[in-house]
Amino acid sequence: MHTVVVGTSGTSAEDVIAVARGEARIELSDETLAALAASREVIDALAAKPEPVYGVSTGFGALAVRHISPELRAQLQRNIVRSHAAGMGPRVEREVVRALMFLRLKTVCSGRTGVRPLVARTMAALLNAGITPVVHEYGSLGCSGDLAPLSHCALALMGEGDAEGPDGVVRPAHELLAEHGIEPVVLHEKEGLALLNGTDGMLGMLVMACADLARLFTAADITAALTLEALLGTEKVLAPELHAIRPHPGQAASAANMLKVLAGSGLTGHHQDDAPRVQDAYSVRCAPQVAGAGRDTLAHARLVADRELAAAVDNPVVLPDGRVESNGNFHGAPVAYVLDFLAVAAADLGSIAERRTDRLLDRNRSHGLPPFLAGDPGVDSGLMIAQYTQAALVSELKRLAVPASVDSIPSSAMQEDHVSMGWSAARKLRTAVDNLGRIIAVELVAATRAIELRDGLTPAPATRAVLTAVREAGVEGPGGDRFLAPDLAAADAFVRSGKLVHAVESVTGPLD
């Protein structure tokens, strides 16, 4: 099993995904344990002083004005976890919770939070045991951290609340901890607050969305190339010299991908009835420009994610010189913005893919293909309603593209009077990514069927590899009407699994 060693200087996107999706085992470095012990000494020294220190010997948020006596501080830390574990709604996916837990552990291990080594070891033990706290959809405003989601995780550390075991069954957390020999944590000064005050949930969802979108952008380049081929379009617009004069790197990468797919095609450049076509429609000709803009947006989002992965987000923090200072680094604006940017890019990519699909199905614009790619038009409806489904998904993507990060609802008696709504941005982006995959899958079904209907013309070698692989995956080709939902589901799984990209790369070599 893959092992991720957590140090003091952050983590990588690859490690997040390995833990969240790959069940990677976690170890804490010796450097980390030493840093945890050193910062804890600072907190213990402050706790012994008569002067109030926020998070150590005071209440929280709008209640920070009260100085808490030593005998009540353990209760204070326990109470903040219990009271903040106030989520509602459906359960959040297991991979999201594992990413959230791991990223909170990453910040704890920075040595900037003042948490004891024991707490970090217990957090790692829960992940290694496959214990996943029950976290709910609603409860984070994306500022002061993902408070309710992180609180539900901290609750499980204390042996309270519910969690899912490695067998997928939800049970009381204390039972699961006991079964795996994990002692519940009794929180000391500062530790309850340190477990709650980060952008870990929205960041984990950003990291996974970036990985998924990278695969979907490549898949979209492939389906765009297949549609261009099916429509007998021209690949001349993909020439590198044309994209060099507008030097957006994402645009150049998408055009290069499409050219690789189309290399050796016998369909491109043909015209129905030998009628000259000066230009293809925008949805075909401008595919690299739209997908490329999305790729560049993704590159920016990854830059933000990498910075956040290197961060220690907590309040207050223990600085290297021993000072303990309050700050506003828990505000989720940087992450929230790029989550919203990606939702916009996903919506536009889905929109242009749907326009290409519609063109394939319209006999007035498809350059000789049968209406709706039906076997016997009139008796058969072909892919008519597949496009309806695709259009509904695009409409949903447009609604999901409305930014969450422009909203703010004041909380905590106006102490926390401007929030990021980054968790909400992340939740809707997950839905957008899923829908984008489905939209690309519908274009794949239509484009492959259309290519097979071009009798007497030989598609590109990469296209032939896709046709073979997608038929083997259970997506049937041209013919009479049949129960279509299974074909669409198989195509969605084919795209989502990366098999579409793999089929092309088996011919072309690596795509971008």
Q: Which residues are catalytic?
A: 54
Helix (H, G, I), strand (E, B) or coil at 280: coil
CB 438 within 8 A of CB 489: no
The tally of CA atoms less than 13 A away on the side-chain side of residue 402 is: 5
Q: Which residues pair with 416 in a beta bridge?
A: 411
Q: What is the DSSP letter of 71?
A: G
Return the DSSP state at 236. Answer: G
Please give the Cα distance from 161 to 181 (Å, whole number). Answer: 18
> Token digits for 96?
């999201």
Inter-residue contact 144 to 416 (CB < 8 Å): yes
Instruction: Give the separation between CA 42 and CA 258, rounded to whole angstroms.
Output: 58
Say how far apart CA 283 and CA 351 lie, in whole Å. Answer: 9
Q: What is the CA radius of gyration of the chain?
A: 26
Sole residue written with tokens 């982006």: 429
Question: Counting beta carbons within 10 angstroms of the beta carbon of residue 361, is it exposed (0 to 12), middle (13 to 18) or buried (19 or more)?
Answer: buried
Q: Are 6 and 32 in contact (CB under 8 A)?
A: yes
The upper half-sphere exposure of residue 446, i.e. CA atoms within 13 Å in the direction of its Cβ, equals 37
272 residue type, one letter: Q
Q: Identify the three-state secondary structure at position 309.
A: helix
